[in-house]
Amino acid sequence: MRKERKSNSPEWIIGFYKIDMIRLIVTDIDETIVKEGSTNINPQYFEVIRKLTDKGIEFVAASGRHISSLQVALAPVADKIWFLSQNGSIIKKQDQTLVPNPLQLEWIPEFWKEMEKIDAPGAIAYTPDYCFIPFSGNEMHRHLTEDYHYAIKVTGGWDTLPTGEIFTMMTVYHPEDADAFCKANLNPDWHNRLQILAAGQTWVDLVPAANGKGPALKKLCQDLAIDPSEVIAFGDNMNDLSMIEFAGCGIAVENAKPAVKAVAQKIVPDYTKDGVLHELEAILAQL
């Protein structure tokens, strides 16, 4: 059952928003505004985002993706918006970059060894600048470089990792069902140390416990003196849940996970029908 609208959430006027209460709009990327793994965002989004930011509304792209992919996907407006990448492990706008809670360094080689032991089809160790992967030439490498356009460094095996890096997130890859693979194979002890978040059919992210899209959004709003009641958030997956719950108005797309729909205050058509775009255009039309 969908949650009751918060008493301080944005008011609705003939199905639209009370515009003077909106100061920040945040949206997930994959399966919310574009097909998972694609950087081909409908160009109409860029026009609407420019107009919204010109009107003083902060616009935020929140994703489990590495920042390098987001900067490619949203290149036409990258200088105007905030990025919450790697599930809130990086907060960035232009030359402002914050890494709230890095991973403990000893966890990275431990994770790499476990991935080798359970014969994981692929895994990623993230830093603010690069994504480290063990091997090139496989399906995951192709997917990350050709579809996501990640900035990649290849370690050459599970027993090699760079030193002197700040690591922000780890990801397990499986070409069919990453969530099922992790439930069957991942050491349960990781749940005591990190958040284990399904981020799409092929990815499961291991995120510092204090991070996440919701906590990062809260931090950003505090820095910008924006109240949650002045925030609209769009999402679809479990890594969007904390952000949807934080926002004064949380909106799920039609293809969202049931748990996300359950806490959303409105459901809009999925990315194939540009549901989020039409909501943004409706807001803009009233400014």
Model pLDDT, residue 19: 54
**Percentage of residues in the chain with pLDDT exceeding 90?**
82
Asked if the model's pLDDT at residue 6 lies above 80, the reply is no
User: Measured between alpha carbons, how far is 65 from 36 in angstroms, rounded to an integer?
Assistant: 10
More confident residue, 98 or 252: 252
Q: What pLDDT band is residue 13 in, cutting at 50, 70 and 90?
A: very low
pTM of the model: 0.85
Output the average pLDDT for the chain: 91
Q: What pLDDT band is residue 17 in, cutting at 50, 70 and 90?
A: low
User: Measured between alpha carbons, how far is 225 from 265 in angstroms, rounded to an integer?
Assistant: 24
Model pLDDT, residue 161: 83
Model pLDDT, residue 20: 62
